Structures are given as C-alpha cells and as structure tokens.
Amino acid sequence: MNDISFKIGSGIHRVLYKATRGGIGSRSGGLHFLLTTIGRKTGRKHTVPLQHFLDSGKTIVVASKGGSENHPPWYLNLRSNPQVVVQIKKSKISMFATTAIGEERKSCGR
C-alpha cells in the first residue's frame, strides 16, 4: 500500500472511529484505538488509528511504518512529547508513553 492510500484509509478509519465512539473500527484486524500526540514541529494534535496489544496491564504499540526504515510521524511526536491520549471505544485516557528497551523490549507481547 502506498503512502497516499495509507493516509486516506487511516483518515477514514479515524473519522468513523470518532463518529461512532469506537463502534466502527475498534476491531478491524485486532484491537484498535486512537492515539493522539502533539506535533513536534507544529504543536498541533495529531490522531492516528493504531493496533495495540495488552501485556500485564500495559498498552503496547509497535512503531512501524509498514516495514519502512523510517519511524512513523506519531512515534517521532511522542518521543518529543510523551504525553498522549488514547481512545479505546468510548473511553479517552491520558497516558505517558515510553519506548521499551532491553529486556522489556524483548518480553513485549509474550
């Protein structure tokens, strides 16, 4: 999937998820939620739909850009400002994001 198709699909997913409060888009291909970060350059809020996993009470996302060597923009944003908001269906929760390293990274998702 090219970048333009991905952005269009992601935008549609985000709009449907918000409009239906997670009724549409929360289970397409796994557990999905919306992640809102603050833009590292603009300071504006950016919201993206992501798949997540739960492990010992922690919400885990993989910062992948479809196999690209570059990090996705949302990951670069949260590295600059780790305060994020996640929306899981109707619930919005403020969280502090961290990057798993070492043993924590190896054990994620087991």
Domain boundaries, the chain: 3-107
Is the pTM higher than 0.75?
no
Please identify which residue in the block is written with the tokens 């709009």: 15
Q: Which CATH superfamily is domain 3-107 in?
A: Electron Transport, Fmn-binding Protein; Chain A (2.30.110.10)
Higher-confidence position of 97 and 20: 97
- Mean pLDDT for the chain overall: 79
Please identify which residue in the block is written with the tokens 């996705």: 72
Q: Binning pLDDT at 50, 70 and 90, where does residue 51 land?
A: confident
Beta partners for 34?
A: 49, 87
Q: How many whole angstroms separate alpha carbon 110 and alpha carbon 103? A: 12
